[in-house]
Amino acid sequence: MSTGSDSWEKIVRGEIPDTHNVDWEKLRAYCQRLFISQGMPEDEAFIAADCLVDAEMCGVPSHGVSRTSIYLKRLQTKVVAGKFHPVVEKESPASVLLNAGNGMGMVAGRYAMQLAVYKAKENGSCFVFVNNSNHLGMVGYYVRHAAEQGMLGFATTSAPPAMAPWGSKESFLGTSPIAVAVPSHGEPVLLDMAPSLVAMGKVILAAKLGTGIPEGWALDRDGKPTTDPKEGMKGTVVPIGGAKGSGLSMFSQILGGIMSGAEYGPHVNSMWDDFVNPQRMGHLFVAMDISKIVDLDAFKDRLQALREEIKALPKIEGVSEIFMPGEIEQNMRAKRKANGIEISDVVYQELTDLGEQYGVEFTI
Amino acid sequence: MSTGSDSWEKIVRGEIPDTHNVDWEKLRAYCQRLFISQGMPEDEAFIAADCLVDAEMCGVPSHGVSRTSIYLKRLQTKVVAGKFHPVVEKESPASVLLNAGNGMGMVAGRYAMQLAVYKAKENGSCFVFVNNSNHLGMVGYYVRHAAEQGMLGFATTSAPPAMAPWGSKESFLGTSPIAVAVPSHGEPVLLDMAPSLVAMGKVILAAKLGTGIPEGWALDRDGKPTTDPKEGMKGTVVPIGGAKGSGLSMFSQILGGIMSGAEYGPHVNSMWDDFVNPQRMGHLFVAMDISKIVDLDAFKDRLQALREEIKALPKIEGVSEIFMPGEIEQNMRAKRKANGIEISDVVYQELTDLGEQYGVEFTI
């Protein structure tokens, strides 16, 4: 496999030749069985597998099945609880604090967002804070489910350190995503963004795949630009808009971590090399029932008009189409549903090995 | 007055010599009387004046008293209603749709945020959407008031076109701010940011003051970088993080404009040269009662610990202190409360002229 950012871009787009084409439902069923093998109930294992495979479908392999191995290891070592019961610690008509019982972040996230949706349907809107949780994968996954139920959905999370606060050179803030989505006549309009130019997940995947990274993505531990993802992993990623991206992450730590009673930034234990101390991550999920403010179809009509205006705008040179937030990922999902997902050699081999390791028949 | 970005930076920081030092309370009282002269009730004129002077105090002159003249002209021409009664169009326990009656945006904003706070105190959280409104000044003003009442506060707004969607060269999206704040043991931690590297307001003020702008702030109408703010005003400002800043603004248009039943981007009429058609802007204000999730003092204690950690981090060369979101503005406010506000020659003369024009005694 060649190195360099060109190859990296091709991997992200699923265009490199040395990949395996796999069916998404088979891949999901296999991942589900792997999670069941480590003590997760069937339905919750399904959620975890669905979240990972959905990231692959969207063309976001950094949050996809390449993470199955680490999640399994965390379940096996019991630093993450396979069976757990989220507990409501505080509740008002439009806010909830949920203790995730150190379970899988994806399961806690899916439950928490659904609780926000139920309560928003009753009362108009709802904030659900989650503590005692773990890494929760691609955050767009949760807000999409809210939007599909007629909601404005929002989510963020605390995260381990990967980015320096503006003015510092020390990794302290997480590259916590913020995600927001609304329903449309087609797929939801969905923004899922890290406060850095790229998420640390992409740097980590590049290191795993042995590719380089473009300059501008990451700084090494001395605060100098690097194209080596392994050096970038030891250093920091660069915030968008300087103080602005830094401020966005600060608020993800405050809302996801501090307000929920969970941990943030440097106090979140590493998912990758700490199998003793739980991560104690926290999240925030918000749902707002659009139909209580405006007729949902009228809203979708106006959103459609916005979309058509955007599509008709004059483009800069080299751009063939202007996309709505989330549209590129949705196009990729449709394509991969129909034609299969391209999984890189490295990740495919890893999935094969996991079957042997955990005694699960490899069926993708 | 010299031109160039150096001079511009000094103006922003209130450091240039050809300025007038004025007392903030006198300035606010004078602006209040100007607004009263154009038909606003005393209390609402106070809110409008307070919002403008607060921006000056924070060192954000782009949203300060330099805008008094245009707001007055809009009141005088009755394209904005001086006396109006916001009407609740829809209401649930945790969401409200408010029709601002084409009144001043600052007044509608202050009322709407206060309504969100009241309902959040009762029910946990509340979204208040506002339609039929006008430009509302510095959005941080509203979330600060929410935070001072123990709330997580959030605000955004639709805005007239100033930025191209990522991939286009046409001004279409507003440089709509998003603002979020939480209370602390000291001043609120407050992020108030445009989705562009700088707000178009700063480009407009630079044009008014006859200074240049740094490269990277704006593109001309052909999509090329410019240091001439007048060319920048005809073109677009640059989004942070490319598609990310573009996506943030898209959601401000969707939430502030489309969901509220107001206008967005290209459909928002210009504040500067349309005195016939109302702007029909829309906003969103959200409040969430922190004490219903976590003990407020315990939250503030943990926020204080975060602040101390941030302050103690190693700094990059040339940085003397790492600031929390909003801290620079709060320091400036304290300094200007004590020592007065530096108002530029141009704006000072304009304020003097406004007194003559509207028959209000100049008393600053």
Helices B327-339, B42-57: axis angle to 10 degrees equals 110
Lowest mean pLDDT among A2-11, B314-323, B342-351: A2-11
- Of A249 and B202, which is predicted with more confidence? A249
pLDDT at A3 over 80: no
- Pairs of CB atoms within 8 A across A/B: 211
Q: Which residues of A touch B189 (CB under 8 A)?
A: 250-251, 254
Q: What is the sign, positive or negative, of the torsion defined by CA atoms of B325, B311, B301, B328?
A: negative
Please, which pLDDT band fits residue B124 given cuts at 50, 70 and 90?
A: very high
The SS3 call for residue A60 is coil
Please, which pLDDT band fits residue A325 given cuts at 50, 70 and 90?
A: very high
pLDDT of residue B322: 97
Q: Which residues of A touch B258 (CB under 8 A)?
A: 299, 302-303, 306
pLDDT at B156 over 60: yes
Do B129 and A293 form a contact (C-beta atoms < 8 A)?
A: yes
pLDDT at A193 over 70: yes
Percent of chain B beyond pLDDT 70?
A: 95
Lowest mean pLDDT among A55-64, A135-144, A253-262, A296-305: A55-64
Are the Cβ atoms of B97 and A294 closer than 8 angstroms?
yes
What average pLDDT does range A155-181 have in this prediction? 94
pLDDT of residue A209: 84
Please, which pLDDT band fits residue B2 given cuts at 50, 70 and 90?
A: very low
Considering all CA atoms of chain B, what is the largest pairwise distance in Å, rounded to the nearest integer?
56
Distance CA B338, CA B333 (A): 9
Q: Establish if A312 touches chain B: CB-CB under 8 angstroms.
A: no
Please, which pLDDT band fits residue A92 given cuts at 50, 70 and 90?
A: very high
Q: Establish if A214 touches chain B: CB-CB under 8 angstroms.
A: no
pLDDT at B1 over 50: no
How many secondary structure helices (H) and strands (E) does chain B include? 12, 12
State phi, psi for A128 to the nearest 5 degrees.
Answer: -120, 115
pLDDT at A217 over 60: yes
Residue A175: closest CA among A148, A153, A203: A203
pLDDT of residue B4: 40
- Residues 1-30 (B) with a CB less than 8 A from some CB of A: none
Are the Cβ atoms of A247 and B169 closer than 8 angstroms?
no
Mean pLDDT across chain B, nearest whole number?
Answer: 93
pLDDT at B3 over 50: no
- By DSSP bridging, strand A95-99 and strand A125-133 are parallel
Lowest mean pLDDT among A5-9, A167-171, A262-266, B170-174: A5-9
pLDDT of residue A15: 53
Distance CA B193, CA A292 (A): 29
Q: Which two tokens stand for residue A45?
A: 């294992």
C-alpha dist (Å) from residue A258 to A146, B145, B178, B299: 24, 21, 21, 7
pLDDT at A234 over 90: no
Distance, in angstroms, between B73 CA and closest chain A CA?
Answer: 31
Lowest mean pLDDT among A181-190, A327-336, B88-97, B222-231: B222-231
pLDDT at A271 over 70: yes
Per DSSP, B66 falls in state G
pLDDT at B311 over 70: yes
What average pLDDT does range B262-274 have in this prediction? 95
pLDDT of residue B18: 73
What average pLDDT does range A210-234 have in this prediction? 87
Do A44 and A86 form a contact (C-beta atoms < 8 A)?
A: no
Are the Cβ atoms of B294 and A259 closer than 8 angstroms?
yes
The SS3 call for residue B107 is helix
pLDDT of residue A10: 58
Are the Cβ atoms of B125 and A94 closer than 8 angstroms?
yes
- Of B260 and B234, which is predicted with more confidence? B260
Distance CA B43, CA B37 (A): 13
What average pLDDT does range A109-135 have in this prediction? 98
Q: What is the pLDDT of residues B185-207, one digit of tens each?
A: 999 999 999 999 887 778 888 88
pLDDT of residue A5: 44
What domains can you pick out in chain A, each with its CATH number?
A: 5-12+87-295 (3.30.1370.60)
Q: Establish if A95 touches chain B: CB-CB under 8 angstroms.
A: yes
Do B24 and B334 form a contact (C-beta atoms < 8 A)?
A: no
Distance CA A298, CA B259 (A): 9
Q: Which two tokens stand for residue A269?
A: 């234990």
pLDDT of residue B9: 59
- Highest mean pLDDT (candidates A227-241, A291-305, B156-170): A291-305
**Cβ-count burial of B17 within 10 angstroms (0-12 exposed, 13-18 middle, 19+ buried)?**
exposed
Cα dihedral A301, A305, A306, A310, rounded to 10, equals: 150
- Provide the whole-model pTM: 0.93
Three-class HEC string of B46-59: HHHHHHHHHHHHCC
pLDDT at B15 over 70: no
Distance CA B355, CA A297 (A): 50
Q: What is the pLDDT of residues A24-83, one digit of tens each?
A: 999 999 999 999 999 999 999 999 999 999 999 999 888 999 999 999 999 999 999 999
What average pLDDT does range B114-142 have in this prediction? 98
Are the Cβ atoms of A97 and B124 closer than 8 angstroms?
no
Are the Cβ atoms of A95 and B245 closer than 8 angstroms?
no
Q: Which two tokens stand for residue A245?
A: 């991206």
pLDDT of residue B10: 57
pLDDT at B250 over 80: yes
pLDDT of residue A267: 97
Are the Cβ atoms of B93 and A95 closer than 8 angstroms?
no
Q: Establish if A36 touches chain B: CB-CB under 8 angstroms.
A: no
pLDDT of residue A14: 54
